Amino acid sequence: MADPTMTFAVTRYRPPDDREPVTQTYTIPYNEDWVVLDALQYIKDHHDGTLSFRWSCHMGICGSCGMMVNGEPKLTCAAFLRDYYPHGVKVEPLANFPVIRDLVVDIEDFMNKLQEVKPYIIRDDVDTAPIGKGHEFRQSPEETEDFRQFSMCINCMLCYSACPVYGMEKSFIGPAAIALAHRYNMDSRDKGRNLRMPVIGNSEGIWECTFVGECSVVCPKHVDPAAAIQRSKLATTNDFMMGMVMPWRKR
């Protein structure tokens, strides 16, 4: 009996020869332990050394290997062949992003947006607080729990790929960026909420979101960016209403 194989339909885009992305089919040996990333590496090693794709840790923590697998945004290091066998697998570059080459997308927009939300502790005594015992920024385990899940983001961009709003409106700041902002807003050590809210609370931020919820469904780290966004909407609306009713109030 011949060794089992699997068919992979992989997007290739090799400008300037390819005017647009095309699909190329490869047959690879089926191995029960393999993930889609292994299959891509096999293709690169044995079929076509020019196949380009991002990857690094091969264990679901670096966030590099996100691609569309049978139409779903997935980390290819976490997509097991045995879940697809004996059917074929289609691998495409992450949806909603421009394609640079083959399976490599342009992530610059995403990187810019992450930085825009000021993803760091903001307090006015960071430079002046003395270092040493008695001057730590203390935090109880419960306070850590308030933001912990939102800190688990590995910047893999699967959520941007799953979000139809981002697909249609490039100006949308997006799920991961808002989840990141929320992570700091919920951190008891941070005092920078009023600097972040204008960034995520403007018309290109949380208000573009219509709670499709797909971002949270595809997140490999269970960050639940949809929750972060809706909670930010609630917080902003609260501030807005308070600001109208009590404009003198400083928060």
Partner 1 sequence: MYKINTIEPFWWALFGAGGFIAALLLPAHILVNGIIWPNLAPGDPTVSARRLANLLGNPIIKLYLLALISLPLFHWAHRFRYFLFDLGLHGGRMGVAVLCYGLAVLGTIAAIVVLLGL
Partner 2 sequence: MHSPHPVSRVPSYPWHMPSGWWLKKRTYMLYMVRELTAVFAALWVVLFLAMLPQLKTDPSVMRSPIWILFSLIALLFVLYHAFTWFNLMGTVLYFRPGKAPIPGKLIIATMMVVWIAVSLFIIAILMTAPLGY
Q: For residues 61 and 48, what is the distance between their CA atoms, to the nearest angstrom?
A: 27
Among 63, 93, 201, 225, binds partner 1 (CB under 8 A): 201
In the range 179-238, which residues lie near partner 2 by CB under 8 A? 198-199, 202, 204, 210-214, 217, 224, 226-227, 230-231, 233-234
Contacts of 216 (CB under 8 A, 6+ apart): 159, 175, 223, 224, 225, 226, 227
CB of 215 vs partner 2, minimal distance in Å: 11
In the range 4-43, which residues lie near partner 1 by CB under 8 A? none
**The entry of partner 2, partner 1, none that residue 139 binds, CB within 5 to 8 Å by partner kind:** none
- Count CB atoms within 10 A of the CB of residue 206: 25
Exposure string of 111-144, with b = 16+ CB inside 10 Å and e = fewer, is eebbebbbbeebeeeeeeeeeeeeeeeeeeeeee
Among 123, 125, 145, 238, binds partner 2 (CB under 8 A): 145
Residue 243 touches partner 1, criterion: CB under 8 A: yes
CB of 128 vs partner 2, minimal distance in Å: 29
What phi-psi label fits residue 132: left (phi over 0), alpha (psi between -120 and 50 degrees) or beta? left
* 10 three-class SS: strand
What is the full DSSP assignment across 52-87?
------SSSSS---EEEETTEEEEGGG-BGGGTTTS
CB of 248 vs partner 1, minimal distance in Å: 10
CB of 1 vs partner 1, minimal distance in Å: 50
Range in contact with partner 1 (rule: CB under 8 A) among 115-123, 138-146, 151-159, 242-250:
242-250
Which tokens is 155 given?
A: 């910047």
Binding mask 55-84 for partner 2 (x = CB under 8 A): ----------------x-------------
Among 29, 44, 116, 191, binds partner 2 (CB under 8 A): 116
**Contact positions vs partner 1 (CB under 8 A):** 164-165, 168-169, 194-195, 197-198, 201-203, 207, 210, 233, 236-237, 239-241, 243, 249-251
